[in-house]
């Protein structure tokens, strides 16, 4: 039985300035949430690290959660989106290029739940 899907996304070659900019990272996360018609529970949590100034964000969703972490020192952002109900594909590559200047995006979608026949 499938109980959800989890997207593990690595965006590389990002603009270090964008990865330090909490507003830019928040806009990317809010686009994911809006475009996929997800619902946020409460207020998102954000943390800005000291230089080189990466950002961590966490959104609690009625469907589960969205977390992001940025690493400006290596031009990388990671996203983890878990949903307990089916969602359409999101244009990760196009949108993360637009929001963060990413040049390479790797997306892994994992079905969650008990293994078949187990």
- Considering the candidates 14, 29, 69, 83, report the single residue annotated as catalytic: 69
- Considering the candidates 14, 18, 29, 64, report the single residue annotated as catalytic: 64
Asked whether the beta carbons of 12 and 76 are under 8 A apart, the reply is yes
Q: What is the phi/psi pair of residue 82, to 5°?
A: -115, 130
Active site residue 64: yes
Answer positive or negative: Cα dihedral of 65, 10, 27, 70: positive
CA dihedral 67, 79, 6, 30 (to 10 degrees): 70
CB atoms within 10 A of CB 25: 26
Active site residue 69: yes
Active site residue 84: yes
Asked whether the beta carbons of 56 and 46 are under 8 A apart, the reply is yes
What positions carry a catalytic annotation? Answer: 64, 69, 84
């Amino acid at each position: 039985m499938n109980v959800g899907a989890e997207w593990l996304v690595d965006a590389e070659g990002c603009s270090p300035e964008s990865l330090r900019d909490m507003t830019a990272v928040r806009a990317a996360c809010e686009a994911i949430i809006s475009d996929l018609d997800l619902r946020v529970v409460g207020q998102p949590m954000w943390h800005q690290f000291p230089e080189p100034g990466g950002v961590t964000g966490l959104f609690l969703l009625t469907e589960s959660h969205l977390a992001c972490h940025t690493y400006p020192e290596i031009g990388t952002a990671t996203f983890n989106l878990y949903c307990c109900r089916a969602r359409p594909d999101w244009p990760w590559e196009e949108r993360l290029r637009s929001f963060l200047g990413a040049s390479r995006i790797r997306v892994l979608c994992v079905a969650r739940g008990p293994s078949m026949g187990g």
